[in-house]
Amino acid sequence: MNVMNTHILTQDSTAPTWLSRVGAEEKLKYCELEQQWVDSQVELDRQLEDAASLRAFARSLMSRELEQDFGNPLDPDLIVTHSRYVFQAAGRTLIQEDRRSLTDLLLQGLHEPGMRGRISFSGDGLPAGLNQPWLEKIVTSSVRAEYGVRLRKAYERQGVLAALNSLIRDQLLLSAFAAKCQGHLSDANLQRIQRAVAGDAALTIAPLQLRADVRALKDLVAVGSRGAGEDSWLLYAPGSPDGRDWYEKHTFRILNLEVAAWAATERGRDYLTWQSHALDRQQITGYLKQASQRGDAWIGLTLAPAHSGGAEVLDPLVFNERAWRVSQEEGQTPYGYRTANETLRQGFTRINCELKALQTIQIRQCGFASYEKFCRDLIKARVEEVLLQRGQQVVIDPDLIEVQIDERQRMTLHELIVGEVAFYADQTGQPLYPRFVLLDGHPPFTGLDIRDIASWSRTLRPGEQYIGQLRAVDLNPVNSEGLLKRGIALAILQRRMRVAIMQGQFNGQLPQAHVEALLGVVNLYVENDPRQITRQADAFGNVGHSVLHQLHLLLRPVVGVYVFRLRLQGQVVEYLFTPDAPDGRELRPFNEFVSAVKTQGLGDYLHQRLYVKHQLQVGSYLRELEESSRATQAPTLNGRIHITDFNECYESVLHKVIADVDEKTRSLKEIIGGLLFDAVVAAAGAISIVFAPVGIALTAVLFTKAMVQGFEAYGLGDRARAIGHFKDALIELASLGKAGFTKASVTQVQKNVIGLIGDAYVIEKLVAEASGQTRLPKRLLEVIQEILDDPQSTTSKTTLA
């Protein structure tokens, strides 16, 4: 039972399954210990007051302002704000509307002066003076910046530390008793833990350190005998990769090997990284990756300094927990953000608002069309056209027509076309096959022959038609639909660049001169005047000013990855821009390229963005960088390969899709499905969190049980892990739809994601693919459509005017 990481209110209220298998006395004891832990958490929250959480702090601040200005207590959680922001992009007008509580609006923040939209309020008994001018008058600084100061001061108070001590003591005792009931601890070892927590000087209880130069891990605690006793060592590791909270090991060396084994797996490294302090995570991530590749890189665990019994025995655990919590907050709102001027912080909020709107529009109408939906529409239109020519008007559902090629090979008409499964219908000796049948729910019709379907299976060629559409529409510089798609994609890219630059600035990773030069490059390509981009170029194409490059490795393009090449006072400074980087750091000095490949997972990331035909060659180069201790130099950037037209950034993605299809290593369905899923993840994250993260790039949003894990993942910058939780959340949604399931059963975040995609069919395919189901329950599909039909279901609305 993991009771250390998660606030009490997010704990699952159901009893653990093992509890039903123990006796009445043990159940009673467990309930007593659990109640003690609950009381300790309540007391800690009481001592922390409004510093218990960022949201509690924001609510407290706004409550005081409301009462001070209007004379009566008002709950900001019950006051609904309606914001409407209008901006221009891609030659069009976009309108972003959001409905949120006044508390959440304070957390999200205002835009900078001159760039604010309209804000109105609704609720019962609101005073007349509660309006936008009042809000702008009182919101003069970031509540997130203020919270950091409040949190640090709160954890200096003795009452808070005493309450935290009680909480840690009670959670150790509760989890140890639960472990004994499950057979993970012996009675004797349970008693040793109880004695250690009580301050027995014969025992030691201490946090564990991965390395001497980093802080102790949160929650990982060792209990053992002082001196050279033969008693076993006990490891407390709540939420460990093996699903246990306590382990019995004969020696400390064996305990060390247990944790070393975790470092050899991705799940184990995720766990250990999360237990590390936020300020140590980049260093820990690199260390764990090297340890997983080379066994001799594992240094081994050490005990952090501990007290020799007495009332202060838990102080090292308490101080480490306090440091972890403060470090966590500092990682989310770094020093550069807390000390930045308010206009800069508000500009960051506005750009993220625009990014959310643009990503939503891209998902709904300006991104890659779902290949499965394209195939469905294609065959649906063809069948309906033929039937109409033959005198019948029928609405066709390709998912309710089953094609039976033989006794074993059966699939829906839709699956047949998506898979481009070719067959013939003129075989002799098989009177029953091939044939097609209508499944339950499809309206009857006549006039269609299996030979029609057989012919389409060989001649329709949906893949070629889809690629043809990409060439005719998406790549066509004069097609109006293609121009809109292009404009939206490039507007998203330039805002993502701005966000990455500002995050680097807030994290203290960029000198101000570099920030200005980087933003100057973004502005240069937003204007996209080739004469300015290539001005004063020499005969070889070299320019003497700051420009943007497509990253090339071994002269092969890495699609969607760029290098800012800055000219500053006669010197060249280069920054690598990696959208959706696995470590969450989207902008880094180019001279850190090799270390990022070695320790931050950048090698796999870059490999995926290569043309398939180049992956073998460049993949070998990337593996050599990862494994060779001699490789330290970043690849040389060819000065002549700079981007002369910002449109190249959009077109390169399409060219890669077309080229990869030709290689036939992955189907068009897989390629487009992956791009669509990535886009949905990015947009879902933008619409579903209260405010954009400052210290690291947002990569995914998770809902219901996956919410906590998902936000941990994006906090770590672990995009792959966050996406995994997103898939888990989709699977959970797919498991709904049972009898009695209604629209009220769907969480607000789920509603937002459904509203984001905006198409019941695409939603079904996305959820079904993640969950492995062929079709979703009928009731769930009905609820999804109800949500799509109800404009009040979602809290975020984006309109393209």
Beta bridge partners of 95: 86, 799
Residue with tokens 């893949």: 463
Residue with tokens 């559902």: 397
pLDDT at 718 (0 to 100): 42
Asked if residues 716 and 332 have their Cβ atoms less than 8 Å apart, the reply is no
Tell whether 735 is covered by a domain. yes
Contacts for 266 with CB less than 8 Å, ≥ 6 apart: none
Contacts for 361 with CB less than 8 Å, ≥ 6 apart: 94, 488, 798, 800
Beta bridge partners of 224: 204
Sequence-ordered strand ranges (E) for 323-453: 401-404, 410-412, 435-438
Same domain, 536 and 628: yes
Asked if residues 306 and 204 have their Cβ atoms less than 8 Å apart, the reply is yes
Query: What DSSP state is assigned to residue 704?
Result: T
Q: Which two tokens stand for residue 432?
A: 């029953």
pLDDT at 675 (0 to 100): 77
- C-alpha 448/C-alpha 454 separation (Å) is 11
Q: Which two tokens stand for residue 632?
A: 């330290």
**Residue among 207, 176, 184 nearest 301 (CA):** 207
Contacts for 585 with CB less than 8 Å, ≥ 6 apart: 282, 578, 600, 696, 697, 717
Same domain, 85 and 138: yes
Same domain, 47 and 66: yes
Quick one: how many helices (H) and strands (E) in the chain?
30, 16
Residue with tokens 């609510």: 59
Surface-to-core class of residue 687, CB atoms within 10 Å of its CB (0-12 exposed, 13-18 middle, 19+ buried): buried
DSSP reduced 3-state for 449 = coil
Same domain, 92 and 234: no
Asked if residues 552 and 641 have their Cβ atoms less than 8 Å apart, the reply is yes
List Cα–Cα distances, 301 to 260, 296, 402, in angstroms.
Answer: 9, 14, 59
Residue with tokens 């690849």: 635
Residue with tokens 């994290």: 507
Same domain, 188 and 178: no
Residue with tokens 């020093």: 335
**Angle at the Cα of 659 from the Cα atoms of 414 and 581, rounded to 5 degrees:** 95
Same domain, 769 and 624: no
Sequence-ordered strand ranges (E) for 109-258: 118-122, 203-209, 221-225, 233-236, 246-249
Is the peptide bond between 434 and the residue preceding it cis, with omega within 30 degrees of 0? yes
Same domain, 707 and 778: yes
Same domain, 630 and 722: no
Number of domains making up the chain:
4
- C-alpha 338/C-alpha 508 separation (Å) is 11
**Residue among 577, 591, 581, 575 nearest 517 (CA):** 575
Q: What are phi and psi of 209, to 5 degrees?
A: -115, 140
Beta bridge partners of 234: 223, 248
Q: Which two tokens stand for residue 748?
A: 């607000």
Asked if residues 465 and 378 have their Cβ atoms less than 8 Å apart, the reply is yes
Largest CA distance in the chain: 93
Tell whether 136 is covered by a domain. yes
**Residue among 396, 408, 407 nearest 453 (CA):** 396
Same domain, 537 and 611: yes
Tell whether 103 is covered by a domain. yes
Last residue of a domain, one of 148, 182, 216: 182
How are strands ordered across the β-sheet holding 401-404? 410-412, 401-404, 435-438
Q: Which two tokens stand for residue 88?
A: 């221009």
How many whole angstroms from its chain centre is CA 487?
25
- C-alpha 509/C-alpha 490 separation (Å) is 26
Contacts for 703 with CB less than 8 Å, ≥ 6 apart: 688, 729, 747, 749, 750, 753
Provide the residue range defining the domain that includes 127: 1-182
Tell whether 637 is covered by a domain. yes
Burial 514-542 (b: 16+ CB within 10 A, else e): beebbeebbebbeeeeeeebeeebeeeee
Tell whether 689 is covered by a domain. no
Same domain, 39 and 162: yes
Q: What are phi and psi of 759, to 5 degrees?
A: -140, 120
Burial 246-264 (b: 16+ CB within 10 A, else e): bbbbeebeebbebbbebbe
- C-alpha 687/C-alpha 796 separation (Å) is 7
- C-alpha 173/C-alpha 192 separation (Å) is 11
Burial 663-684 (b: 16+ CB within 10 A, else e): eeeeebbebbbebbbbbbbbbb
Tell whether 635 is covered by a domain. yes
Asked if residues 219 and 236 have their Cβ atoms less than 8 Å apart, the reply is yes
Contacts for 632 with CB less than 8 Å, ≥ 6 apart: 594
Last residue of a domain, one of 284, 301, 333: 333
- C-alpha 641/C-alpha 548 separation (Å) is 9
Last residue of a domain, one of 316, 333, 350: 333
What global pTM score does this model have?
Answer: 0.84
Same domain, 81 and 3: yes
How many whole angstroms from its chain centre is CA 795?
20
- C-alpha 655/C-alpha 674 separation (Å) is 16
User: Could you say which residues of the chain have pLDDT below 70?
Assistant: 1-14, 228-230, 427-430, 539-541, 638-640, 665, 677, 681-750, 752-753, 756, 758-762, 765-780, 791-793
- C-alpha 754/C-alpha 740 separation (Å) is 20
How many whole angstroms from its chain centre is CA 423?
42
Query: What DSSP state is assigned to residue 363?
Result: I
- C-alpha 598/C-alpha 19 separation (Å) is 45
- C-alpha 708/C-alpha 245 separation (Å) is 19
Tell whether 205 is covered by a domain. yes
pLDDT at 329 (0 to 100): 87
Three-class SS string for 487-548? Answer: HHHHHHHHHHHHHHHHHHHHCCCCCHHHHHHHHHHHHHHHHCCHHHHCCCCCCCCCCCCCEE
Tell whether 349 is covered by a domain. no
pLDDT at 334 (0 to 100): 87
Asked if residues 119 and 135 have their Cβ atoms less than 8 Å apart, the reply is yes
Same domain, 234 and 119: no
